[in-house]
Structure formats: C-alpha cells, structure tokens
Amino acid sequence: MLDRTKIEALRNARVPQSGHVIDGVARAASDGGTLEVISPLDGKVLTTMACGTKDDADRAIAAARRAFDDGRWSGMAPAQRKKILLAWADLIENEALELAVLGVRNNGTEIGMALKAEPLSAVGTIRYYAEALDKLYGEIAPTGPDVLGLVHREPVGVVGAIVPWNFPLMIGSWKFAPALAAGNTMVLKPAETASLTLVRLAELAIEAGMPPGVFNVVTGKGSVVGEAIALSMDVDVLVFTGSGPVGRRLLEYAARSNLKRVYLELGGKSPNIVFADAPDLAEAAKVSAGGIFRNSGQVCVAASRLLVERSIHDEFIEALAGVAKSMKVGDPLDPSTAAGAVNSLTQLEQNLGFVDEARALGRDIRIGGSRILEETGGYYMAPTIVTGVAPTDRLARDEVFGPVLAVIPFDTEEEAIQIANGTDYGLAAAVWTGDLSRAHRMVRAIKAGVVHVNTYGGSDITVPLGGVKQSGNGHDKSLHAFDKYLDLKTAWIKL
C-alpha cells in the first residue's frame, strides 16, 4: 500500500534547482542559464533546471571518452562492475517513493503506475543486466586444424542516449543499464519536461561508486544538447525514444558526423483487435480501457486504435465506455487516481486538436473530448472514445499520445489485418480471440514488434521491445539489448 501521509509530505517538499552531472560531479547551470520546470499537476513552476549548452554537452562527451579510453570501467573486472551496478539499484530502491513522487510532480503520471513503472522498474532493469554482464562469452570458430578463430565481444565506446518524458526512468534504464553493464560509458539527455529523476539517478550512481565520467547527464533543449550529442565525432552509438521527425534528424546528424550507429524507437499507432469469439468481453473492455487511458494515453505502446468485429461493436463500446467513465481522472498523487495529468499544455492542445478534427469529419465523440479540471491550473483531459472512424482518418493513422481512442469496425479477419497494418507504424498490437489457430495467424500477419493475445501490456524485461516500419529499429529489453552496445572482433591466429 502507498503511504498517503508520506506522499503528501513529498508533494509539498521544495525541489531545488537541478543541474548536470558531468565527470562525477553535480554541476549548476552554466552559461546557458536555466529553464523553468512547470508541473502539469497545477501549471505552476516546480523548480528550475540547467539549460545546457553545446559546451556542457562537449564536456560530458569528453569525460565519457576519457573514462572509456583509460579502461576505468570497461577494463574493470566484471564482478566489480556488477557490484557497483547492484549497489546503485539498492540506492534507487531505498529512495523509490521519493523518486516516484518527484517524477509525478514533473510529468503527471499517476502515482500507482509511476512507482512500479519508474524507480522500481529501473531497479529491476539494472539488476537484470548486472547479473547478465559476466555471462557474455566469446566464441571459438570451427576452423581448420592450423588456425584458431576467436570471436570477442567488446563494448562499443561512448553511448549517447536521448530519452522521452513519459517514463524517463523506465525507458532510460532500458538504454543505460545494458550499455553500462557491457562496459560502455554514457552521456544521457533527458526530456526538457521530465529531467529531475534522471539527474537524481546520476547522483546516486556516484554514491554507489561508479567512476567519474562513466554516466553523465546533461539537461536542456534537444535542439542544443541533443544536437551536440548526435553530431559528436566521439559518440559511437546513439539511442533514442521519441518522435519520428526527431529520429529522422538524428539519422541525418549521424551521416554528417562519424556515421555512428543510431537505434530508434519512434512510437506507434497500435491496433487492439477484438473478435466476437473473445473469451471474456468484459475483461477485454477493462484491459483495453487501461491500454489507452492509463497515464492519459502517454505510452508508446498505447492501444490507440480499437478494431471491433461489427457483430459486437455496439455491445463492446458500451462496456468500454462504462469502464472509461468509472476511471478517476485527476490528481496523480492521489493513490485512487486511475489516470493523471497530460504532461504539458502543448500536448493537451495537440490532443484536443485531434478530437476537433474528428468532430469536423462527423465522427461520433462517444465520451470525453474535452479538457477537465481546468480550475486546478493543471493539464487534464477526459478519456475520449471516437467511433465511426475511417481507417484513412488522421486519428486512425497518426500518433496522438493522449487519452483518445479511435474505434473502427471490421467484418472479417482479413479486413482486420489490412486495417491493422494500414499505418506507417509497427510497435505493438493485441488480438482478443478464443480461437487458438486464429491467434497464431494474427501474430504472424500483424506487422508489429510485439503482439499481445487476450491481454494488453505487461511484458517484462525478459522479452525484447522494438518496432518495425517507422516505429524504429533495434531492441530494448531482454538479452538482445546487448547487441546495440557490443562489437564483435575476430582474432584469426595461425597455430
């Protein structure tokens, strides 16, 4: 159970100005000055953070380069590297509620989800890769009798990471945990609207004994700090979760600089397909509502397109609307809240713009469609279900990243597949059916990195997450994540 008294005390705690963490030292704002941190809970200034400059980014990259090249981390015995990472995880776990509340005040996620999905998720991810790091073996090639062929796995060097605002600790750890476990050093740039918890994590890394320069965090604008990291000749791999336009720009920056490898997770427009033979329609409605409305729809794999077999369309939408109406939207630091705040006024206005466009096309706004709780000063939106959406509508094709569900009816399995695959994205999907053969057919046919069957979400660190088409490339999570951060080197030895 969440400690409401402690949450209330943390809600009102003063948040000091946040700075960078570079070369093992917490640094205040430099020549770039500061940026105001606006809390989506009430629209008020929560604190300020350092607005990094290109020089700040370059200093962090140089520190990471030195730390990699001199072997203080990559050359450390794997058992010692593991010990430091596990100590770091312990420190994060000890401060989990404080980190969760700080994150909620910064980005608006409801506290029940935030605690599990943010600090505690990061703890589990760090421990997973720490335990795996000394189990990465090289190979002996099956060569002739006069030659010994060895395949070494080596860290790539300096990793640059740019992470989003919706789950900064969870998504950040998917990147820094395997990268650091493999022996790389890192420069991480958080989102402007959700940097505070990642800065604190970097401070805890120092406390855990991580050598200076190994894990650096530079806050500020993407157009400055992110660009400097992406254009750097000393960053060997760049990993990013965010929007498609920014992902394209990062690929261009890689081409203009050192051809660094770039791994991208660029969101989705995930289809949630409900057949009439689903084993439990009430459960499907409940889970589907959570799949789009939890965290106010601000989830990369959000089930934002609902495809419903026409014979059960009206019945299912009625059940889904009932679940959505019962979800408490509001103060994300109230443990009874099911959906918290939209991250920013800009994001809220974008969400409402999609609804206005659907309304202008004559689509039915079944529930929601408006800003709520405006008197709080915060950014809250009612769960919104839009029916009668055509597969060609922008609402059915573009990522909203808000609590807005597009509902599309279908008649046949083949039609459902065609609609499901009819976007540029391919991150996640779900199929609800009691037919085992149909389930397997759909898993094969749908173009997505993960396909859920009779559930939505919940996959843990043991399985990969990655997109196809314009949802990106490469994989976070699972042992496959190491592939992004390790080079293969062949030794060909004449005997």
Q: Give the active site residues.
A: 265
Contact 59, 30 (CB under 8 A): no
Query: Which amino acid is present at 339?
Result: A
Burial 248-283 (b: 16+ CB within 10 A, else e): ebbeebbeeeeebbbbbbbbbbbbbbbbbebeebee
Assign 339 to helix, strand or coil: strand
What CA–CA distance (Å, rounded) separates 275 from 279?
A: 9
Assign 235 to helix, strand or coil: coil
What backbone torsions phi and psi does residue 204 show, to the nearest 5 degrees? -70, -30
What the block records as the tokens of 272 is: 């949630």
Q: How far is CA 346 from CA 248, 342, 350, 352, in A?
A: 22, 9, 6, 10
With vertex at residue 163, the alpha carbon angle to CA 176 and CA 167, rounded to the nearest 5 degrees, is 95
Between strands 237-241 and 261-265, the pairing is parallel
Q: Which residues contact 426 (CB under 8 A, 6 or more apart)?
A: 268, 447, 448, 449, 467, 468, 469, 470, 471
Assign 320 to helix, strand or coil: helix
With vertex at residue 253, the alpha carbon angle to CA 161 and CA 196, rounded to the nearest 5 degrees, is 30
What CA–CA distance (Å, rounded) separates 98 from 374?
A: 27
- Residue 412's CB: how many other CB atoms inside 10 A? 10
Assign 258 to helix, strand or coil: coil
What CA–CA distance (Å, rounded) separates 20 from 106?
A: 17
DSSP state of 167: S
